[in-house]
Amino acid sequence: MDNLWVERDARAMARRYQGAGVNQDVALCVYGTRLLGSEPRLVQHGGGNTSVKTMMRDVTGADVEVLCVKGSGADMAVIEPHGLPAVRLAGLQALAGLPALSDEDMVNTQRCNLLDAAAPNPSVETLLHAFLPHKFITHTHANAVLALTDQPDGAEICAAVYGKRAALVPYLMPGFGLAKLAREVFETAPDCEGLILLKHGIFAFGATAREAYERMIALVDLAEHHLSRGRKRRPRAAAAPRRLAAVAEVAPILRGLVAEPAGEEGQWRRMVMVHRNGPAILDFIAGAEVRRYAFSGVVTPDHVIRTKSKPLLLPAPEAGALDDFRTQAEAALAAYTADYRAYFARQNAASLPPKTALDPLPRVMLVPGQGLYGFGKSARDAAIAADIAETAIAVIADAESIGRFESIAEADIFAVEYWSLEQAKLGKAAEKPLARQVVAITGGAGAIGVACARAFAAAGAEVALLDRDGAAVGKAAASVGGLGLACDVTKPKEVDAAFARIAETYGGLDILISNAGAAWSGRIGTVAESVLRESFELNFFAHQRVAQAALRLMLAQRTGGVLLFNTSKQAVNPGPDFGPYGLPKAATLFLSRQYALDHGADGIRSNAVNADRIRSGLLTDEMVTARARARKVSEKAYMAGNLLGREVTAADVAQAFLDLALARKTTAAVLTVDGGNIAAALR
């Protein structure tokens, strides 16, 4: 583990913050915290914490001693001074004399002693920082340290590695009890540089921010050296998986399996998926003893809120035998959820007060030959679960390389999983209407595509944009944190590849906005057949092609879905010389109805938007081809007045798609967005 402290940078940061009124102790603590937080082998997503004891002036002008400690769940890598709320130290230290303290009283006392009443909740490990005497304290769940302590003889190994440099604290869940225990252990070894919290992590402390940081690095480095000396060859499994199905085929099956019926009939509480397949992951899953070490429990307690204590292990999916795989996966999932419910019942029987069960679904699945699948309520959450699972795999592999991985006891896992202060880290904000759903938008780089991307992202959906302009679609996708795919929808191979990427990235698809189009014109009596065919290729067949690709994913998920088509007023109200455009659009309007008819029983709705007279947006979007540019009708004709006399924009069209996506009882409908055009009204 490299020491990355650069004194010049630390001083520069302190000077910068000084200008903003931040005291130097806090600024240097921020510098060290970010260094630690930026190293994934030390800290993962909201884990770890740091503190500094310093003086601050309160509102009366009195100087008070405070503990500035990381806010609960905050990300160390990007922490700012306000992420280290200041708590009156005397108020915290006064608690040390109590024989016991409830979590509620602990949190309340911490909040009551904040200098700023609006500050975030201090870390659940605040009292541990307060009860130790050192000015600067750092705490991480360093992988190498966990690999040493997560052993049946972890205490002996750590004693041999650390000697007097670090004292050993037996496992206890975080909170008041652990804070008192850590201080007792420290008092038996007052010259130590840090504490090893068995099966949890490591503390290091110092008189300066630099000393506390450097001791953390040095102590972790000792663990890494011990591991590299002791590492023996990892045993590999004998049986290699057979010819495997593609990830893009397996992903929607798995995503569908973990969707739960919710609310009204046909409503689902879905999850978003992420797939990882590095060599360390594949080796781990291929290990002959994977059932033992993968199911032993978490590598550090707070991981349990992200990954549960066990992954779901599935069989290798054979190519061409996906029905068999689905049956096997269903059975494995049923066994997993039954096992989780039994664990809950067993542990809850001894729990006072009784807890409410969390959902029994896995957040991590392991598939031989394919890697790991992480699940969460958003792509971000799924990625966090996968990151933590990858960390666990690294720690367990190292632990197994020097001995045998062992986690905390089941009762201890339950205590942390159902600890209100851990669950609070996940947040309970109300979810947006399209949270947990994935939308694909063709014509994604055009004005309507971009407006749809914004509207659907704002409604909580994960967004994939497809457009033949790869650079533009990449930019558009980046602006909403989505996936941008270069794809010409008139090319079957490109469509298949794009939808495979969507499945690999998010696990599947719930909503399609088939929006790509372009205008061709010509008097119908004389227009060349090739012009008609070209227009049909994009304005009809491409819609059918992407709808089929979307449908395949939706049917594999078995959780319904929504197909939305951008037809045009041309579909019902032809304009002169615009037959080559209107004819395929009319066919696409009927295509939308055919999907509604044929796949309503699958829970799939199909609707269309009839947009017209969009201010410049639709024209630039639809008239992208050179051919169209040469023949396009004047913009003026499109922008002529409408009944409401209101300007219609791409954002209005996007809102219509969003309304249809949310209209759970509406299918085979056409929605006009034209400010009123009685000649185009459906009759």
Q: Which residues bind Zn ion (CB under 5 A)?
A: 201
- H runs (alpha helix) in 507-578: 529-536, 542-557
Residue with Cβ nearer Zn ion (35 or 298): 298
What CA–CA distances, in Å, run from 203 to 88, 89, 352, 459, 656? 22, 19, 31, 42, 55
DSSP 538: I
Contact 586, 571 (CB under 8 A): yes
Contacts of 578 (CB under 8 A, 6+ apart): 519, 521, 570, 633
Residue with Cβ nearer Zn ion (128 or 550): 128
Q: Measure CA of the first residue to CA of the last residue in the chain; give whole Å.
A: 73
Provide the 10 A C-beta neighbour count for residue 525: 6
587 in the Ramachandran plot: left (φ > 0), alpha (ψ -120 to 50) or beta? alpha
Query: How near is the Cβ of 364 to Zn ion at its closest, in Å?
Result: 21
Residue with Cβ nearer Zn ion (175 or 579): 175
Query: How near is the Cβ of 29 to Zn ion at its closest, in Å?
Result: 17
Q: Out of 162, 171, 581, 638, pick the active-site residue.
A: 581
DSSP 270: -
Tell me which amino acid residue 460 is. Answer: G
Query: How near is the Cβ of 125 to Zn ion at its closest, in Å?
Result: 6
Query: How near is the Cβ of 420 to Zn ion at its closest, in Å?
Result: 17
Query: How near is the Cβ of 200 to Zn ion at its closest, in Å?
Result: 6
* Cis peptide upstream of residue 353 (ω within 30 degrees of 0): yes
Query: How near is the Cβ of 33 to Zn ion at its closest, in Å?
Result: 14
- H runs (alpha helix) in 287-426: 290-294, 304-307, 322-348, 379-402, 410-417, 420-426
Handedness of CA 627, 629, 634, 639 (dihedral sign): positive
Can you tell me whether residue 487 is helix, strand or coil?
Answer: coil
Residue with Cβ nearer Zn ion (387 or 534): 387
- Rounded Cα distance between 213 and 424, Å, is 28
Kind plus residue range of the DSSP H or E element containing 188: helix 176-188
The structure tokens 């490299």 sit at 2
Residue with Cβ nearer Zn ion (201 or 580): 201
Residue with Cβ nearer Zn ion (139 or 545): 139
Residue with Cβ nearer Zn ion (39 or 488): 39
Residue with Cβ nearer Zn ion (37 or 201): 201
Contact 250, 317 (CB under 8 A): yes
Closest residue to Zn ion, based on beta-carbon distance? 201
Angle at 176 between CA 174 and CA 177, to 5 degrees: 80
* Nearest alpha carbon to residue 403 among 142, 156, 140, 42: 156
Residue with Cβ nearer Zn ion (87 or 251): 87
Half-sphere exposure of 220 (CA within 13 A, CB side): 27
Residue with Cβ nearer Zn ion (201 or 256): 201
Handedness of CA 32, 206, 101, 357 (dihedral sign): positive
Contact 438, 502 (CB under 8 A): yes
Can you tell me whether residue 199 is helix, strand or coil?
Answer: coil
Contact 252, 557 (CB under 8 A): yes
581 tagged catalytic = yes
The structure tokens 């169209």 sit at 628
- Rounded Cα distance between 279 and 232, Å, is 17
Sheet holding 670-673, edge to edge: 483-486, 462-467, 438-442, 511-514, 561-568, 604-611, 670-673
- Residues labelled as active-site residues: 581
